[in-house]
Chains A and B, each alone.
Chain A
Amino acid sequence: MRRRDKRGFTILEAVIALAIVGLAGVAALEALGGELRAADRARSVSTAAALAQDRLAAIAIVPALDLSPLADSLARGAFPEPFADHRWSVTVRPVMGEADLYDVAVSVTGRGTDYSVTTRLYRPRPLGAVP
């Protein structure tokens, strides 16, 4: 029967052990980094959602007669400080066959986030206005 060497670890065993410990460490760090990236992304999306709501509010107070076509200053632009690195674009289209109903799409981009929201807006024209 072959006798087992009792002198200690071989270099191969040590390398394998270190590799396993290293892999576990890298995996743990990667998991922690992933969690941070997810939290950061959630924050960016939350900000973009608030900015998109702000643009929807801006469209909601525009008189019905000015909704289509929409003025360039309302159709696209950049947010003021502290969100100067975010840009928005808005499209407003009358819904076919439905008077006074508009499809509104708002897109906000910035800090690696692209957030879009769409809704329908009912804005009756003033009495006597030409459609």
Chain B
Amino acid sequence: MTLLELIVGLTVTGLVLTAGFGALGVLGDRRQAVETAATAEARAAAERQALVDWLGGARLVADEGGPEFRGLDGVRDGMPDDQITLLTTALTPLGQGDMIVRLYVDRDSATLERGFTAAFAEWRGTAVARVELDPRVAGFDVRYRSARLGRQDWFPSWVSSTLLPAGIEIRLLPAPGDSLPALLRLPILVPLRSGS
């Protein structure tokens, strides 16, 4: 092998290695971005599904002294600050059975949770649990769909021990300067099986 052949060989090898490592680097960065986005999206989809399950399993048992459906409309620091409390038969972190679920934005510095939070309590028991659903949520806006007052319409609040709305729409809002995954920015619409 002559010196010229050696130099040409080394140059070609160097160029190939540079291109190969460059491509690997780009793919590695892209892989990390895709994995991060996929994880965030999967988490958001799971959060949406959990909300659909909990709210969709709402039921009223006024004749058994059960809790009423309580959807309160509120505003705090210019952000919607609604709350929902209901009895659900859906699977919750406390297990299967009749559970009281409260959805709200936790701003209390004395608690461990921040942002959008779900609190659970057994209806006929003493077990309780709280789950921080998303700490980036600063505003929680809910409206209720029903035809009970004539034509079907949206209502900003709903409190009843005998009637459930036909559907619930939830909007989650991030704190100013913050953002939420795309799937959580889309309003979450939940039909209630026993609503009207």
The reply to whether the CB of A32 lies closer than 8 angstroms to some CB of chain B is yes
Min Cβ gap A106→B in Å is 13
The reply to whether the CB of A127 lies closer than 8 angstroms to some CB of chain B is no
**Alpha-carbon gap, A54 to B186, bound state (A):** 9
Q: In residues 5-40 of chain B, which contact A (Cβ within 8 Å)?
A: 9, 12, 16, 20, 23-24, 27, 30-31, 34-35, 37-38
Could you say which residues of chain B place their CB within 8 Å of the CB of A117? Answer: none
Cross-chain contact A36 with B185 (CB below 8 angstroms): no
Cross-chain contact A33 with B189 (CB below 8 angstroms): no
Number of interface residues of B (CB under 8 A): 33
Q: In residues 37-63 of chain A, which contact B (Cβ within 8 Å)?
A: 39-40, 42-43, 46-47, 49-51, 53-54, 57-58, 60-61, 63
Q: In residues 48-103 of chain A, which contact B (Cβ within 8 Å)?
A: 49-51, 53-54, 57-58, 60-61, 63, 79-83
Query: What are some 16 contacts across the A-B interface (CB < 8 A)?
Result: A8-B1, A9-B1, A18-B12, A25-B16, A25-B20, A29-B20, A29-B27, A32-B27, A35-B31, A46-B45, A49-B45, A50-B48, A50-B183, A57-B189, A57-B190, A63-B147
Q: Write the residues of chain A forming the contact surface with B, with a CB cutoff of 8 angstroms.
A: 8-9, 14, 18, 21-22, 25, 29, 32-33, 35-36, 39-40, 42-43, 46-47, 49-51, 53-54, 57-58, 60-61, 63, 79-83
